[in-house]
Structure formats: C-alpha cells, structure tokens
Structure 1
Amino acid sequence: MLIERIYDEDLAQASYLIGCQAKGEAVVVDGRRDIAVYRDLAAKNGMKIVAVTETHIHADYLSGTRELAAATGAKIYVSGEGGPDWQYEFDGERLYDGDKITIGNISIQALHTPGHTPEHLSFLVTDGAFSDQPGYLLSGDFVFSGDLGRPDLLDEAAGGVDTRLMGAKQLFASLRDKFLTLPDYVQVHPGHGAGSACGKALGAIPSSTIGYERLYAWWGPYLAANDVQGFINELLDGQPDAHAYFGRMKRENRQGPAVMGERAPLVELDIADVAKDLAEDKVTFIDTRPNAVVHERSVTRSLNIPAGKSVASYGAWVVNPEADRNPLVLLAADQEQAQEVRDHLVRVGIDNVAGYVTGFEGLPTFTPRLIQPSELAGFDEAMVLDVRNRTEHAAGHIPGSHQLSGGRVMWHLDELPAEGTIVSYCQSGVRNSVAASALRRAGYDVVELDGSYNAWAAWNQARESVSAD
C-alpha cells in the first residue's frame, strides 16, 4: 500500500493519494483543483486514479474532486450524511457511516464524525495485504495534531445561526464514540497543519496516533472526565477570525466547483493593450512583488498579492469573483511564476486570469503613502485600522485602533468611515499591504503604518524608556 501526503503550504491543507501497488489503482482524498500533482504522482507509481472523495464540504479551498474525476474518469464518492441541509448537489455515490471504498486489498471505510460540519466523514484505512485490522485514519478537519476542527465556521462564514454549540457537542460525541474506540496504534493523518484557520492551535507535525492524541491533546482530560461543558468552553474560546471568502467556498463546494479542464499556458500581454484595458476598467492588475518593493512604486488601483506561499489566501481576501468579473493581469517575473500564481488562485475559485506582464512602464503608477510610528500621534486620521486577527489584537494593539482582519475587511466596509484617512497596520506589513491595496481600489484614502505593529511597539517601548529615565 502507498499513502502519499500532498501538502499545500499556502492553505496549510493536506490531501492524500492512497494506492494499491498490486492492482495499480489509487484513490485521492481532499484533492485541490490544480490536479497535475496527483496525476504525476500516480503515473510515477504506475497507478491509475480510479476514485476521488473528500471528507466534507470544505470552507477554506475549492475542492478538486470534480476536476480529477473529469480528467481521469475516476468515480466520485461524497458524504451522504448530515441531513437534508447538508447534501451535495452534484452527482457522486453517497457514503454513509460504515460504507467502504475498496481497491485491491485496501479498504477505506467511511466514519461519520460530525462536529466541524454535520456531514463530515473520516476514512479508516486497512491494508489487507498486511493486516485485517485498520492502521490509518484520514481525519480531515475532525482531529488535527494536538487540536480539533473548529465547530463555529458555519456561524462565522456560512450564514449559520448558533450552530457552534451543537457542533461542539457533536465533536465531543465523535471523539468519544468513534475516535477513542480505535486502537492506540492507528496513525492519524489530518487535513490541515499549522497556520490553517480551521482550528486555533494546530500542530506542525504531519501525523499523530490515536494513543498520542488520547494522552496529550488538550481535549483528553475533558473526555476522560466526561466534562462536556468544559470541553465546549475551551473549544470555542479564542478561535481566530474566519475569512469572509469561506462562505463562497462552502456554496461552491456544495454545488460542485466548475470544471476547468486542460488550461492553456499563460501568455505575456502587450503592455499597450493592458494600458487601454486599465483605462477602461476592463481588467484588474495584480502586483505580485513583495510589499517593500510595491511601496516604492506600483500600478494605480492595483492589488498587491505577493507571490509565494500565501497567494491563494491573500487573493481570496481581495478578489471576489462573484462581484468583480474583470480578468486579472499578473505582474510577474516570468511565465513560470505567473502560472504558479494562477495555480494558487484557482484553489480558491479565482479562475479568470487573462495573462501576465513582466514590467509596467507605460502604465499609470503611484507611490503608496506611508507614515512612521512617530508621526501617528499627530496624524489627523478618521480611523486606525488593525487588519490582524482578533487574537493578535487582543494580545496587544495601538490604542484606539479598530480591529477588522484582512480576510474580512472587504466584506465589512460598513465598519469603515465614509470619509477621511484610514491608517492601517498588521504585524509586520505584508498583510497590511494586501488589505490596503484593496481598500484603495475601492476608493478609500489609506495610509500604511511603515513597519506596522512591530515598528510601533519598538518605537513606543523606546519612548516609554526615555520617559521613565
């Protein structure tokens, strides 16, 4: 048997390929939409992808289940659990608690483990060529290394009302009745790692075991004492902000993400054509350079989505394809970087990329306004805006600042002043540059605090030390 973990550092998301070498067949679990990695991995191991499935209706990325099925002819399996309000709306065989997918000697059994979502499945894997007992659990967003999937996302991002308490109770029951009934030696392979917004304290370790989590996870003592209320209180306390785009992901994943099919290579666009389209507001310009470079000069009304490991996350913060139909033009170093950025964007349903340019001479430009921490006290601003998570804000912030995380700000413009200057900051400046660029494009007068909170905290500490002397 082969189990391969495919990890996306952008979204801190893990998908899995489970293969039977004897039969040359494989199943993909929780795949993403840029599917070349799965096809290449299967080919490398002489396997054909014959089945695709997923643990639940995801909120943080757009599922590649339909994309893989269309490309490979694989059969789709999705959860049939959760009741009438949580049924998938596209074709696929429904899996219920105890149902199995079989390839060769490998058995993949669905376990209904609600709590994070009502329809959530985990997959218990048995390698029949080695043992008649299960050895592996693909736990999705149910159990992570050292943490649990949050039960409040339906309230936070998907329009639910007070579903978090029921979800928390379901998580307790799923742990008690399913997870803790498994042998301690069973390996646990979760759907996310550190940095994901699907939990509050995910570990960076890629896998765990039933026994290790039983002994050392924070929730262990609550289960041992059957303390349901204490468990609920601890689980719900301190959860990070849920990004606003999660609601769109939920809808599209339930309905069935659009199948892209084979995608042509991105082409380099003529700068004169881009200038014309910008003047007519027919395209949206994406500056993929680091924020420090963008601060020197950038294209007017461009969005800053820095190339690197967080393209999908930042892209979904500031590009809403349901509201902005403009094709995207990427400023990239070359075609390879542009295509990598596009691959990340499609993971969150941002598909409309027209092409790329490698420079912007001839296009209208501007220089973003920055102020130093020492200037803030005398600055006449309408609002000081903290675009970090609420947990970061609670740990320390600029006095009088208003917290609205970068992943939510463009969906909550009613919280911002209609007139006047907004001074924005994050922790070091990267997230702030992304959010500030979107606010400028929306017509707000935004000034960025140079160095963000780190710079302000250092300046404030130095000022207080001088005052104390």
Structure 2
Amino acid sequence: MNVIQFEDKPLAHYSYAIISNNEMAIIDPSRDPKPYYELAEKHDAKIIAIFETHPHADFVSSHLQIHKETDAKIYVSKLVGATYAHQAFDDGDTVTIGDVACSAINSPGHSPDSITIIATDSENNHVMFSGDTLFIGDVGRPDLREKAGNMKAKREELAQSMYYTIKDKFNHLTDATIVYPAHGAGSLCGKNMSADPSSTLGRERNENWAFKDLTVDQFKNHILKDQPFIPSYFGFNVAINKEGADDFETTFCGVLFSFGITDFKYDDSLIIDVRSASRFKNNHLKGSINIIGETEEDKLETWLGSIVEPKEAFHLVINSIDDRERVLSRIAKIGYEKQIQSVITLGANKFETSKLFDIEDFKKHPNQYTIIDIRNTSEVGEGKIFKNAISIPLNQLRASKNEIPTDKPIVVHCAGGYRSAAGSSIISNLIDTIAVYDLSDAVKSFNE
C-alpha cells in the first residue's frame, strides 16, 4: 500500500493519498488541489475517490473541485447532509482503490458526522485515516459544533460519543494498524497533540490518555477541560465544506491590486497588514492590524480567522508583488478571500510610524506601564510572566476597549513575540491618547 502524507504547516493539517494499481484516492484534501494532481501525474494514476472524514472547521477543502475536475466520487457520511454530489460512506461501506479496500467506521465525538477510514491491502496491512477523531496523543475536541451554523450537537453529548468511539469502535483492529490523523501539534482541533505525523494503534492504546481505563464521566471531564478558544471562522468553514467551495484558482483572481501607493482612500473596511513587525512599525497605513504572514511558522490563517469575522471586509497590505499569490492562497485556505477589498503594496511615502520602545526603561520601571497579556486563557493559567499584567486573549482584544486603562503607556506581550505584533496594533487603534508598545520577542528574556 502506497500512502503519501501531505503537510500544511501553518494549519498543522495532514492530508493523504493512497495509490494502488494506477488508481488514487485522496483523504481530507487542502484547498489547493495542485499537489494531488502533481502526484497523480508522477505515478500515472487516476484519481477515482475523495474521502472526507467530516466537514472540517479549520480549513476549506477542495473535495468538490477535485470531483469536478477528475470525475472522482466524493465519499462522506450521510450524517453530514452534504449538498454536493456524493456517495454515502458509513459503517459497512467499502470502496476499492486498486488492491486496497477502504471501509468506513462511523466515529462520532469530534463531530456527529465523523468517519474513520480503514485501508487494507492484499497483504492484510491496515491503515486508519482517523480524521479529527484520533490524534497522536489525544482525541479531537468535541465543542466546535456549538458555533457551526444550525448544528445543535452539544459538547457534553459529543464528549460522551467520543468515549464510546474510542472504547468500542476500533477493538477489531490490531496494534500494528498505522494511525494517520488529519492534524498534528499546533492545530486548534485538539489540545495536546504530538508533533509525530503518525503512530500505531498499539502505541496509542499504551500512551494516549483516551485509551486509559476511565469512566465516561472521567473521560468527559478530561476532554472538556482547558480546550483552546474557538476561532471565529470555524463555523464558517464547516458551512462551506458542507456545500463545497469555489474553485481555488478562480476565487481571488479578480481582487483589485494597488501597487506602490502613495495615498490611500480610507473606507469602513479593516486593513490587515501581513508584513514583518519591523516593516509595519517603520511604515503602515493608519488603523492597520499587523497579522504577520511571512513564513510557514507564522500562523496567519489561524489569527486572521480569529481576529477578523467571517464576511468582514478588509484591505490587505503585503510587502511585495512576489508575495501576492502566496498570501492570497493562504487566506483562501480559510475561505476569507472574498472578503478582500484590495491588495496593496506601499510606495515611498510615509504613512504612520510606531513609537520606539525603550526596553531598558521598561525593565527599570515596569510599574509605570500597563501590561496587557494577550496569551490564551490556558497559557495564562499556567502562570503569568508579569504579575500585574491584565489578561485579554488576542481573539477578544478588538471588543475589549473598556477593559484597558489609559493612565499609563501600554506594553503588549504574548509568549514568543509573534502575536504581540497584532495585539499592539489592535490596541493602538482602540486607544490613541497614549503610547502603545509591542514587547515582541524581548518577552523571552522575562520568561526564563
């Protein structure tokens, strides 16, 4: 059995292809279908199936586009209520890809409509594509559907469903079964995932907390405790994936581009600047929010979809024409490309410059500053970096003007410096009567 794993690092998302006898199936594809087409060409394989383990919340899938462009069938649980052309794929259903038999297991818990796909080859090797049900070291969180359209599944019900999924659904599979999840460490679809890209069912049975001898109440208490926040875009993406997204290549081709501007006509739209913090501080449009998106380590997709609401219009400032396609592609992964009013590069004119931060004065007189800690609630729960800091998570910051004192200069910090660029720019937009500073990566010297 030839299984190829694809990784989307910013979203910690894994997708897969199975190739056997010149036939190919794709599991949980990303928004851009090109990598799967390139693989099919390389192996002279025909794409005949797309499996969706559930309607994903954290990214937009290309399943409908691949179906339209290859005539491959989409297989998904009937419980999804998908409005696109598909084949129901539930308990007892099997599809053959070359010499590989793919069967479905309904595995509710992360969502009520989740399935796990078991692939078995002619030598009786078993692989499970567990979607967001079983992760390496954890299981999928059960609370995402509370903000997903009209879904009425509650976290308590799904937590209990997950308990019985883990307890009963995989018992017929051997310890040698390879586990391929849809996400790894860094995803908000779970809380304690390993960075390992795969595992075995035997290892998970020995090491994963979810397989321990717990009562249903103990299991529910553990899985529901300290889950990360739910980004604004998650429910929006579930709805898109239930209908099927527009084609990736055409969805942002008509976005207005303004090159090297020396003047800007402000409107009611947000301005999102994805350049580095240093470039932003040196020159930016008034009112901009600095959500850095320069490398794969930068969590542009997650924080854009947490700070900006679905369908909320924004202008996009990039550093160079060379960045346009890359950044638009990243934004399309969460379905926000239609919200972009224009893409902009800045010319030689100076617009706004951030105030210089005297770090030495801050070290000597920290009490003369209001310190805003924008880390997540779970991070703050593990301990404050500054005892007197006011905790406001970054995803809540735009609505928190009344919680921020204005009697002293403000210093914004996160854990490593990436998020504080966004946080300080947001607070600067909320409060224009005092100086707002970004502690940036200097926070590390206080956190040792």
Give 1:281's match in structure 2, choosing from 267, 275, 281.
Answer: 267
> Which amino acid letter does the alignment assign opposite residue 271 of structure 1?
G
- In the superposition, relative to structure 1, how do residues 94 and 164 fare at CA in structure 2: closer, same or farther (>3 Å)? same
Equivalence map 1:144-183=2 (5 Å): 144-155=135-146, 163-183=154-174
Match of 2:118 in 1: 124
Match of 2:259 in 1: 270
Match of 2:100 in 1: 106
Contact 1:283 1:329 (C-alpha < 8 Å) held by counterparts: no
State the Cα distance separating 1:251 from its structure 2 match. Answer: 2.6
State the Cα distance separating 1:11 from its structure 2 match. Answer: 0.4
- In the superposition, relative to structure 1, how do residues 377 and 136 fare at CA in structure 2: closer, same or farther (>3 Å)? same
- In the superposition, relative to structure 1, how do residues 53 and 416 fare at CA in structure 2: closer, same or farther (>3 Å)? farther
Match of 1:399 in 2: 387
Q: What percent of counterpart residues are identical?
A: 27
> Which amino acid letter does the alignment assign opposite residue 260 of structure 2?
I
What SS class does the counterpart of residue 124 from structure 1 fall into? strand
Contact 1:271 1:362 (C-alpha < 8 Å) held by counterparts: no
Q: Does 2:43 align with 1:37?
A: no
Cα offsets for 1:3-36 (capped at 9, x unmatched): 111101100000111122x2x2211111111221
Cα offsets for 1:177-211 (capped at 9, x unmatched): 11233111111101111111111110111111111
- In the superposition, relative to structure 1, how do residues 194 and 154 fare at CA in structure 2: closer, same or farther (>3 Å)? same
Equivalence map 1:350-361=2 (5 Å): 350-352=336-338, 359-361=346-348
Give 1:343's match in structure 2, choosing from 314, 325, 329.
Answer: 329
Match of 1:46 in 2: 44
Cα offsets for 1:265-318 (capped at 9, x unmatched): 99974334xx55x31438765433322342333332223232112222232233
Distance of 2:430 and 2:19 partners within structure 1 = 48
State the Cα distance separating 1:40 from its structure 2 match. Answer: 1.2
Match of 1:256 in 2: 244
Match of 1:377 in 2: 367
- In the superposition, relative to structure 1, how do residues 162 and 347 fare at CA in structure 2: closer, same or farther (>3 Å)? closer
Match of 1:294 in 2: 280
Contact 2:317 2:343 (C-alpha < 8 Å) held by counterparts: yes
- In the superposition, relative to structure 1, how do residues 68 and 283 fare at CA in structure 2: closer, same or farther (>3 Å)? farther
Contact 1:70 1:259 (C-alpha < 8 Å) held by counterparts: no
Distance of 1:47 and 1:293 partners within structure 2 = 46
Equivalence map 1:191-340=2 (5 Å): 191-222=182-213, 227-262=215-250, 264=253, 269-272=258-261, 275=262, 278-281=264-267, 285-306=271-292, 307-309=294-296, 310-324=299-313, 326=314, 328-335=315-322, 337-340=323-326
Name which of structure 1's ranges 47-56 and 154-163 shifts more when overlaid on structure 2: 154-163
> Which amino acid letter does the alignment assign opposite residue 105 of structure 1?
D
State the Cα distance separating 1:120 from its structure 2 match. Answer: 0.4
Cα offsets for 1:133-154 (capped at 9, x unmatched): 3510000111111111111223
Distance of 2:98 and 2:438 partners within structure 1 = 59
Distance of 2:390 and 2:85 partners within structure 1 = 45
Cα offsets for 1:237-266 (capped at 9, x unmatched): 222222222222223223333334446599
Distance of 1:157 and 1:402 partners within structure 2 = 31
What SS class does the counterpart of residue 35 from structure 2 fall into? helix
> Which amino acid letter does the alignment assign opposite residue 64 of structure 1?
S
> Which amino acid letter does the alignment assign opposite residue 120 of structure 1?
S
Structure 1 unaligned spans of 5+: 462-469
Match of 1:466 in 2: none
> Which amino acid letter does the alignment assign opposite residue 99 of structure 2?
N
Distance of 2:245 and 2:402 partners within structure 1 = 32
State the Cα distance separating 1:175 from its structure 2 match. Answer: 1.1
Distance of 1:108 and 1:389 partners within structure 2 = 40
The CA RMSD measured in Å over matched residues stands at: 3.1
Match of 1:142 in 2: 133
Distance of 2:153 and 2:3 partners within structure 1 = 38
Name which of structure 1's ranges 185-194 and 97-106 shifts more when overlaid on structure 2: 97-106
> Which amino acid letter does the alignment assign opposite residue 418 of structure 2?
V
> Which amino acid letter does the alignment assign opposite residue 156 of structure 2?
L
Contact 1:330 1:338 (C-alpha < 8 Å) held by counterparts: no
Distance of 2:233 and 2:143 partners within structure 1 = 15
> Which amino acid letter does the alignment assign opposite residue 126 of structure 1?
T
Structure 2 unaligned spans of 5+: none
Equivalence map 1:430-469=2 (5 Å): 430-441=418-429, 447-451=436-440, 454=443, 457=446
State the Cα distance separating 1:96 from its structure 2 match. Answer: 1.8
Cα offsets for 1:346-404 (capped at 9, x unmatched): 1111214577555432362232564644344123x5xx432211121111223344433
Contact 1:136 1:189 (C-alpha < 8 Å) held by counterparts: yes
State the Cα distance separating 1:90 from its structure 2 match. Answer: 3.1
Give TM-score, length-normalised by structure 1. Answer: 0.83
What SS class does the counterpart of residue 61 from structure 1 fall into? coil
What SS class does the counterpart of residue 233 from structure 1 fall into? helix
- In the superposition, relative to structure 1, how do residues 207 and 250 fare at CA in structure 2: closer, same or farther (>3 Å)? same
